[in-house]
Amino acid sequence: MDRRFSSIAAFEKGAKRRIPRFAADYLFGGIGAESCVLRNREGFNRVLLRSEHLCSADHPVCHTNLLGKRYDAPFGVAPIGLGGLIWPRAAELMATAAKNHNLPFLLSTFATTDIETARAAGGDSTWFQLYPMIDTDMEDAVLERAEKSGYEVLVVTVDIPTITRRERDARNGLSVPPRFELSTLLQIMARPGWALQTLVDGIPRFETMMPYVPKELSNEEQIKFLAGAINAHVTPEKLARLRSRWKGWLVIKGVLDTADARLCVDSGADAIVVSNHGGRQLDAAPHALDMLPMIREVVGPDLPLIVDGGIRSGLDVAHSMVQVGCEQLSDLPEHLLD
Ligand SMILES: Cc1cc2nc3c(=O)[nH]c(=O)nc-3n(C[C@H](O)[C@H](O)[C@H](O)COP(=O)(O)O)c2cc1C
């Protein structure tokens, strides 16, 4: 093990030393007073695990069968929009790492690596996360590219009903490409490794979406165009359209409510991601762990439930599994573990 990075917390500290402050604020910040971000971390401390030492189990089994594929561990990489701002080619690098460890990797619609490059890097562990679009021709074109490049799992995010305004990003004047104001330039100069790598790889752009953006638009107009292209409020009709359009596995991400969970089942979803978007959307949102038992009751014992928010260790993964209804790894339902 690399002694500098003995935990995710150590990685976070290291990242803050290597990336400009505006990028760190974008990565680590939440919405409002960030109480939901805090709650996501603290939620895990409330779940206690009682260990059984004298049972006759063999080695722990960590692999997971999920949506037609066997992965080596019960966790994966969540979608991150604008990852190239945090580190150049972040999505490509993480897709490759996920493939090497046989873990799922979710590529965001707003990744800065395009859909084809990410699939080539991550192989069949790569899933595509879609923000539904207003223009169905544009949406169909993106889905067609996903199909052609071999994606089997589509994750539809439903928890961004409107454009989000996070205070740290507003304060930093966060924009794509970065606005070169004095304070931004000073932050960049303080992180020469990041600056050099960005120079080599180029200013990050929303690569999957760029073919649909009119060429004559200025940078600022391009961002406005893309923000306006997203069908922020996802209705049951929209889900029905996507279900009939997408022949592969369909996952709905951003569910915290039992009525929504039932709707996902009725819409033919193959799995649900119980998530508050890492505390980045609604500061009053509950911790996903608190909603899991109720959602499990509504969707029944068989629908795979995926959970995120504040997970920073294997212990947090174990806590989440307990809350999904597995007292121990060997209690996982058939489709999650064999
Ligand atoms: C910088 C950043 C960008 C994100 N971009 C997306 C995105 O494009 N699509 C999406 O569905 N979720 C996005 N998320 C939410 C994550 O996929 C995930 O739900 C959340 O980060 C989990 O909480 P955690 O950060 O506490 O682990 C983003 C999260 C972060 C931190």
pLDDT tens digit sequence for 256-303: 999 999 999 999 999 999 999 999 999 999 999 999 999 999 999 999
Domain total of the chain: 1
* Coil vs helix vs strand at 275: coil
How many C-beta atoms lie closer than 10 Å to residue 266's C-beta?
Answer: 11
The boundaries of the domain holding residue 285 are 8-47+61-331
- What is the CATH number for 143? 3.20.20.70
For the stretch 46-79, pLDDT in tens is: 888 888 888 777 777 789 999 999 999 999 999 9
Q: In terms of DSSP H, where are the helices of the chain?
A: 8-18, 21-28, 35-42, 83-86, 90-100, 115-122, 136-148, 167-172, 182-189, 192-201, 219-229, 236-245, 258-266, 288-299, 314-324
120 in a structural domain: yes
124 in a structural domain: yes
Q: Report the nearest-CA residue for atom 8 of ligand 1.
A: 81
337 in a structural domain: no
Statement: residue 333 has pLDDT above 50: no
69 in a structural domain: yes
Half-sphere exposure of 280 (CA within 13 A, CB side): 20
Question: Closest ligand 1 atom, CA of 310?
Answer: 26
Statement: residue 2 has pLDDT above 80: no
Ligand 1 pocket mutation pick from 27, 80, 311 by most atoms within 8 angstroms of CB: 80
- From 63, 277, 287, 319, the catalytic residue: 277
How many C-beta atoms lie closer than 10 Å to residue 201's C-beta?
Answer: 14
Q: Is 277 a catalytic residue?
A: yes
31 in a structural domain: yes
How many C-beta atoms lie closer than 10 Å to residue 40's C-beta?
Answer: 26
- The residue that leads in pLDDT, 212 or 332, is 212
161 in a structural domain: yes
- The residue that leads in pLDDT, 173 or 230, is 230
185 in a structural domain: yes
Q: Which residues line ligand 1 (CB under 6 A)?
A: 26-27, 40, 78-81, 108, 110, 129, 157, 253, 275, 277-278, 280, 308-311
For residues 272 and 261, the answer to whether their CB atoms sit within 8 Å is: yes
Q: Report the nearest-CA residue for atom 21 of ligand 1.
A: 278
Strand partners, 153: 249
55 in a structural domain: no
For residues 236 and 268, the answer to whether their CB atoms sit within 8 Å is: no
Question: Closest ligand 1 atom, CA of 111?
Answer: 8
Statement: residue 245 has pLDDT above 50: yes
